[in-house]
Amino acid sequence: MISMVKLVADPYPPYQFEQDGKVTGMDHDIISEAFKVHGVEVQTALHDWDECVTLLDAGTADGIFQITRNPRREEIYIFSELLRTARTLFFKKRDTTIQMNERKSLADQLSGTKIGVLAGYSYNDAVDSLESGLKVKKTASEELLRGLFRDEFALALIDEGVAAFLMKRLGVEGVEQAPGFEISRPLYVAFRKDLPEPVHLFNLGLAEIRKNGVYESVCRHYG
């Protein structure tokens, strides 16, 4: 049986980031705990996404995580069972009376309402097709939170876990979810086609830590 796997991912706190010279984070720790069930060590290196894919395809890395599935990727990688489902939500100031309705078109609901988004990021067709004048682009989620307080926009699209992490780290209060809109993305760990053993071990370990409460404990640790 294998004793170690080499994984790559792009930095994305609180899911994977470097702290005190070591990689940590919710997704990283979940994966590590799943492999630990079988005594397998995980070594994770953080790079920008394109470099992660290059390292995986070159055989330098065994697997990549926080990846979505599509037909092209399924031809070249072996995908694990579901790692988690990412949720991107609208956030607003608590004293702002905005509520979304999932049965109505986003464009109609946001007529004249500015929203904060990440520059260069594709959300979904509904968001990407909105008039450019409605979207205020920021380079980081932290800037989206600050923009809310500066009233640069009424709503900000932020990953649920990232928002919780940043609000706790920055001591932010008075921000809450604007219910009625959600973008969900199933995320996985993918391995090279020539490595069926690690994905099998990971799947077994993932099922075990979901059962014994370790998965939930890791999630709670990161808020």
Say which CATH number the domain at 68 has.
3.40.190.10
Q: What average pLDDT does this structure show over 13-23? A: 95
- pLDDT tens per residue, range 79-96: 999 999 999 999 999 988
Residue 158 makes CB contacts below 8 A (sequence gap 6+) with 88, 89, 91, 141, 144, 145, 166
* 103 and 163, same domain (yes or no): yes
Q: CA triplet 220, 87, 50: central angle to 5 degrees? A: 100
- pLDDT tens per residue, range 163-221: 999 998 888 889 999 988 999 999 999 999 999 999 999 999 999 999 999 999 999 99
Whether 103 has a pLDDT exceeding 80, the answer reads: no
> Among the residues of 58-131, which ranges form H helices?
71-76, 106-109, 125-128
* 32 and 91, same domain (yes or no): no
* 79 and 189, same domain (yes or no): yes
Range of the domain at 180: 87-184
Q: What average pLDDT does this structure show over 28-42? A: 98
Among candidate residues 206, 213, 165, the one with its CA nearest the CA of residue 19: 165
* 80 and 102, same domain (yes or no): no
* 97 and 178, same domain (yes or no): yes
Whether 65 has a pLDDT exceeding 90, the answer reads: yes
Q: What is the pLDDT of residue 81?
A: 98
Q: Could you give the CA distance from residue 27 to residue 4 in angstroms, rounded to a whole number?
A: 17
* 34 and 72, same domain (yes or no): yes
Number of domains in the chain: 2
Q: What is the pLDDT of residue 223?
A: 73
* 93 and 167, same domain (yes or no): yes
* 119 and 134, same domain (yes or no): yes
> Strand pairing partners for 176?
92
Q: What is the pLDDT of residue 134?
A: 92
Which of the four pLDDT bands, split at 50, 70 and 90, describes residue 97? confident
Q: Could you give the CA distance from residue 36 to residue 42 in angstroms, rounded to a whole number?
A: 8
Q: Is 153 helix (H, G, I), strand (E, B) or coil?
A: coil
- For the chain, give the mean pLDDT: 94
Least confident window among 1-5, 27-31, 93-97, 157-161: 93-97
* 173 and 93, same domain (yes or no): yes
Cβ–Cβ under 8 Å, residues 167 and 175: yes
* 189 and 176, same domain (yes or no): no
* 119 and 77, same domain (yes or no): no
- The DSSP secondary structure of 108-127, one letter per residue, reads HHTTT--EEEETT----HHH
Backbone angles phi, psi at 188, to 5 degrees: -140, 175
Quote the tokens at residue 44.
């994770």
Q: What average pLDDT does this structure show over 138-151? A: 93
Q: What average pLDDT does this structure show over 108-122? A: 90
Q: CA triplet 187, 192, 195: central angle to 5 degrees? A: 115
Rounded to two decimals, the pTM is 0.87
* 189 and 166, same domain (yes or no): no
Which of the four pLDDT bands, split at 50, 70 and 90, describes residue 5? very high
